[in-house]
Chains A and B, each alone.
Chain A
């Protein structure tokens, strides 16, 4: 086990523990960034998809994982970001302005939604946000002159500094764009967590009562959390639109919202790693299923007709398994495995067992 001997405060404040950890993450980044040289175009596309989902997961993680506000409506914000980006591009705004602006506009939309949502807790907030997601579908159909309605919209490549970035034409450039956004969002997220704002999110999640007593304005903090979460979702949505090329009101259905929430629960709530691990599961599971279906068909000689709902059924089962056996998600499992190796042979079975929570002060409101 590596024990870091701390000699100044910056060792705690900077995002990495020691040089060893920093190296690991830089190597990981280098491996991913060089993917175009060791992956074929199909799998590069899949990797791009995983990264986009991870960005969306980071967006929801801010709100659900760190501020404790469940949202079943983030597909609405993905849609908002996607349409905002395309509409701005169609108006002739260059991509480098349109893309950030799409996220900022989505963030503002999030604040507008947050105002009525501030009074809601738990299941009621989930219902409210889910309604939002369903509503977005209709809004896109009704606002046909702007959104193209059921016919949807089409987005070709965009130009950045004279380079064409297109999902199909230049998948490598598009991959780097997505990777760049993912890295920037992750760095911003890390900074947030080591600053007062991120800690006030955690405070609101764990005890609104004492957060207030410490001078944290609950309503304001939740609103900022909504804004940041929706802004990141907006960027993810814009990238999703560019990835699929064509989209309409059904692209960002309520199922996407549910999938997104499942993803961060499977990955591990309340950790940046969780968003990425969850995205890997969500992104690669359909491929894994179709490959294994072929394999099963080849071995047992059955037909390989697609079974409707199979994907969601398996997602559901994985989710149930996680909630039952590993509520801390994949990241929590990874921490346990790592601790087992680090402490070998002194790992105790109940090391991560949550202690009984002591009685909380009765709800005052």
Chain B
């Protein structure tokens, strides 16, 4: 009876992990399509994209990269083998707070860029820029809330699931940053 219950729990955990990776790869596919569209559009109108890019703030985006990587570090600490409940909770809360800091910094950055978005020559650039970064920003905000919820009762299986998703969001930003702002 006990063995059957343990096998059931293990099977459930395996199913959760499988669904998580299906979700992650569908997210990576969606972000991949958007990044691909940005690269193609920037080849079609290289001059417009180069000028539009001058209105972005790469220093703020680099700061946000530091914020997100530090958050990722804390998420990894929370998911580390043998971490105590207190360590898990503290690390998850820190990771979530840094996620909210990322959102706040990005909104500030938008406020400095939005006035250029209406210019006809930059329309295509800013449309893709806001879709890509906005889609990413929603993910950061949403999963930061989930991190806080999991921190309340940090079951190892839930910590693993939410931090895995968090690292993938981090990964997407690492790729997006140089492509959108610099290259």
**Chains A and B come from one and the same complex:** no
| B interface, CB within 8 angstroms of A | none
| A interface, CB within 8 angstroms of B | none
